Amino acid sequence: MKNKPLLALILIALGFTCRLFNYPPNFSPLGAIALFAGFCFFRRWSLFVPLVILAASDIFIGFYDWRLMASVYASFILIGLVGSALKKHSRWWSVGLGAIIGSLSFFVITNLAFWYFGGFYPLTLVGLSSCFTLAIPFFKNTLIGDLFFTAVFFGIYSLVPYIYGAKEKQIMDLTE
């Protein structure tokens, strides 16, 4: 891919813009952007893209408890690392599995942080169970959003060589 800086800017602009709009809670392209950036860019850039989106949009959305923010930022770094692992295993099913792993890791990491630091639940097994149980609707939206936007990003990526008539071998073949 020749225009990686342009692609990074497009992903950042898209992620930033989407965070400013009202949509169902946790239905967002950010997980898919982190996964796709991990796949497309070198590690430094791949982690940079979601962090810039989060930091820039948090300026407008508003900051909150730094420990909860750190869990969100760490979740997207982890999703970017999952995307980096997809470079070696780029089949349609591994991309889907990567999106599911990203959704699950975001759910677990952020809800553990919310339970522990949020002050809404007792720091007991019952409190932890309540926190995770009440977060299931958010997980559903996260999973649907991640799968949808991952399919869009990786689908477009796999079609670009055909659209532009590229003769070079594609990095990822979603037909296998």
The whole-number pLDDT of residue 106 equals 97
Query: What sign results for the dihedral spanned by CA atoms 124, 125, 126, 128?
Result: positive
Which residues lie closer than 8 Å to 20 by C-beta, 6 or more apart? 57, 60, 61
Mean model confidence pLDDT for the chain? 88
Read off the tokens for 116. 């522990």
Within 10 angstroms of residue 25's Cβ, the number of other Cβ atoms is 11
CATH topology assigned to domain 4-163 = Arp2/3 complex 21 kDa subunit ARPC3 (1.10.1760)
The whole-number pLDDT of residue 175 equals 38
What are the tens digits of pLDDT across the range 106-128? 999 999 999 999 999 999 999 99
Q: Degrees (nearest 5) of the Cα angle 117, 50, 78?
A: 60
pLDDT > 80? residue 98: yes
How far apart, in Å, are the Cα atoms of 149 and each of 21, 44, 95, 141, 154?
16, 22, 11, 12, 8
Please tell me whether the overall predicted TM-score, pTM, comes out greater than 0.85 for this model: yes
What are the tens digits of pLDDT across the range 27-65? 999 999 999 999 988 877 788 999 999 999 999 999 999
What are the tens digits of pLDDT across the range 66-97? 999 999 999 999 999 999 988 887 778 889 99
4-20 vs 43-61: helix axis angle to the nearest 10?
30
